[in-house]
Amino acid sequence: MTTQTDPTRRSILTAGAAAVALGSFAATRGTAQSANAPAGNSTAPQGRRMLGALEVSAIGLGVQNHSRTFQTTIPNRSEMHNIIGTAFDEGITFFDTAEVYGPHESERILGEASSAFRDQIQIATKFGFNVDLETGAWAPGLISRPSHIKQAVEGSLQRLGTDRIDLLYQHRVDPEVPIEDVAGAVKGLMDEGKVLHWGLSEMGPNTLRRAHAALPVSAVQNEYSMLWRGPEDGLLALCAELGIGFVPFSPLGYGFLTGAIDMGTSFAPGDFRAGTSRMDTENRQANLALVDLVKSWADRKNAAPSQIALAWLLAQGPSIVPIPGTTQMPHMLENAGAAAINFTPDELAELNGQVAAIDVQGARMPAMVEAWSDVEAPPRA
């Protein structure tokens, strides 16, 4: 049986700090971005960041699990609407979903919840997994054929209740389709005004260079957290070189960095985390050193552990925009408050050194899932 999540287990940011962070978000909330915004603009108002030419809130909200949780239960739909609406009220304007989440239901929930403020937010969604366009049935394999991309986007637009997608990602690289063909299909959608910016997720570095040369890429979305620092091995530098923003998914290590998982935690059947060897008993024991470190800094900075983990990511670069996901209101508010946590240069150097000194044990994903990462698209004939 899975350990139940306690809505109050993660302490809420002090009222004063929350007001600073969320007030700065709200004061600078943007409207829908144009694909014609000048490229290479790396400056943004306080509380906001640039993904290429797309301005977003410094912290986003991932709504992947708003149709189901790690515990395989179905969240209350009206409460998910409430969380999304409250996130917007508090200044979060960057919302992340995908056709495969649900499948389809995450996009529907986000569309329902955001209809009243659609023009004031930035929506990111993704294509690329083999999801039936009508039924949402998920079959093996990846599909990024140009004709399929256009159909997938039409479905996403309908479910989201919108006429354009602010940021469209290729969810995983299709090993059968040249990335130039993918870029061409997205360019056609941009010309129609249905897509404003595009990005890639978990692609190989050469594919990213080729994609950017074919059609400027605004953002890369990959896993990145204190628990998984793989992007530091060249990808972050490549994004900085090309002027591409970086969006970390699972920035809290699937909840691990919040302290919600300990040696007594068990996982429900089907819970993704149970299939990652870093959660195996012996590896988890070693990896809890990261949780202890985060908790010590939380005490030091009068913050919550999740806020330290997110603030650390924000401090790694000016175009990094984490998208923590949650189905609980207190956690969303707490995550949003991470933007108020700052490190002095000396503090950041100290924390970076401490994080680097911990050797995380185990793989981040099951082997069959990790096989979709760092894939290089085939050359164009």
Amino acid occupying residue 375:
V
Residues 314, 320: Cα–Cα separation, whole Å: 6
Residue with tokens 């969006």: 247
Tokens of 61: 């909200």
Query: Taken in order 125, 364, 257, 354, is the CA torsion positive or negative?
Result: negative
Residues 6+ away with beta carbon under 8 Å from 158: none
Residue with tokens 């990094």: 320
Residues 169, 186: Cα–Cα separation, whole Å: 10
Tokens of 160: 């989201």
Q: What is the DSSP letter of 364?
A: S
Residues 6+ away with beta carbon under 8 Å from 237: none
Q: What is the DSSP letter of 249?
A: E
Catalytically active residues, by annotation: 101
